[in-house]
Structure 1
Amino acid sequence: MNRVLTIAASVAAFAISLPAVGQANQDATAVQAGDYTVESTHTQVQFSVNHFGINDFYGTFPGASGSLSINPKNLAAARLDVTVPVSSVSTTNKTLDEELVSADWFDAAKFPTMHFVSTKVVKTGPKTATISGNLTLHGVTKPVTLNASFNAAAVNPLSKAYTLGFKASGRIKRTDFGVSKYAPLVSDETTITITSAFEKKAN
């Protein structure tokens, strides 16, 4: 009984120590300027294609890494550099995952990563911007533009790191990158959706 009470007290103390959701700052102008790294465990790159005209189908690439340099007073100077491991692809279908990393699709053995480097950032609203850059996928580099929005900033109650949250989306034609299997039965146009967390580097 005492052990149960001790555990309950510990859980309660932990819960009390957590900041309320409302304490996350959604004011983009209040973001701390500096250099950040991708918080991989809470960052995902999702793609969707239309499957034979029947339904939309989704997959996810976890395990992203990279960096962000940002100053809200000079957003145009922001720099983003992100790498995503292709072999991490997950569709919840093991057989399909194995097919996607094969030479017929992403060819992860030969081209193990996707890489995006920003070239231009343009503010479009209080919490939004377009991020133009070069995407390297399947050994091909093409310009891509992402529509990004700022979610919030807060100190992560577990890691204690000051963390920024963003969402971004864009569209590519996969055949432009040489990923042409079953196109256009499986749609050429591919939607990319990114949810990302960035932790500020310690000074």
Structure 2
Amino acid sequence: MKTTLALAALLATAAAPAFAQAVTDPAKAEAGSYAIEPEHTRVRFDVTHFGFTKYDGEFRKVSGTLVLDPAHPDASKVDITIATDSVAVPNAKLKEELEGAQWLDAAKFPQITFKSTKVAKTGADTADVTGDFTLHGVTKPLVLHVKFNAAGTNPVNKHYTSGFEARGQIMRTEFGVKTYAPMISDAVAIDIDAAFEKAK
């Protein structure tokens, strides 16, 4: 036990100098082209289930790119692709149902996408990112409220990484996903934590 704790402390100490270089001011992040780091990127959603509880799930396969311009935030761009059949919920039968024709119809619509069209700074480390959101074959505008977390060299893999969190909401019936609405809420909250690694 003591050996394990000592090793953990040693690793933490070794990583500290690299991690200390991380910046929380987006103006100090490195400009350039980035790609999603999928292992630490999460796209979650939740709905109200018959008015009794909230029920959530997530999508496990996410890819995409980011062009980051800290000096001119409005020139930044993000493009995200989600594999529809990567939906994950605690119940295997529900996963199968969600991927079926009544809900997401993953066979017909294998991708969910978001392509930014406008970035508007709203605070020192926040922005509203408007984009074209495509779900179930329907494309509509979506605004994501985005917060910059930090940027710096990942002490483990040594990749320069920028991290963000984003929140948004869609009305699923507007995209043709109408099953059990409004008993299962039309409004779907979207919660994203995204890590992007800079291209070398």
Normalised by the size of structure 2, how large is the TM-score?
A: 0.93
Q: What letter corresponds to residue 11 of structure 2 in structure 1?
A: F
- Cα drift, residue 71 of structure 1: 1.0
Structure 2 CA distance for partners of 1:40 and 1:52, relative to 1, 3 Å: same
Q: Percent identity?
A: 47
- Cα drift, residue 157 of structure 1: 1.3
Q: 1:24-48 CA deviation, whole Å, 9 max, x = no partner?
A: 3111110100000000111111111
1:16: which partner in 2? 13
Structure 2 CA distance for partners of 1:191 and 1:8, relative to 1, 3 Å: closer
Comparing 109-118 with 18-27, greater Cα deviation is found at 18-27
- Cα drift, residue 8 of structure 1: 8.0
SS at match of 1:97: helix
SS at match of 1:165: strand
User: CA RMSD, aligned part only?
Assistant: 1.9
Q: Which runs of 5+ in 1 are unaligned?
A: none
2:167: which partner in 1? 169
What is the correspondence of 1:1-203 to structure 2 with a 5 Å cutoff? 13-19=10-16, 23-202=21-200
Structure 2 CA distance for partners of 1:125 and 1:11, relative to 1, 3 Å: closer
Q: Which runs of 5+ in 2 are unaligned?
A: none
Aligned pair count reads 199
Structure 1 outlier segments of 4+, above 6 Å? 4-10
Q: 1:80-123 CA deviation, whole Å, 9 max, x = no partner?
A: 10000111111121111111001110011111110100000000
The question of whether the paired residues in 2 share the 8 Å contact of 1:38 and 1:196 is answered with yes
Q: What letter corresponds to residue 103 of structure 2 in structure 1?
A: W
Q: What letter corresponds to residue 25 of structure 1 in structure 2?
A: V
SS at match of 1:187: coil
Cα distance in structure 1, aligned partners of 2:20 and 2:46: 32
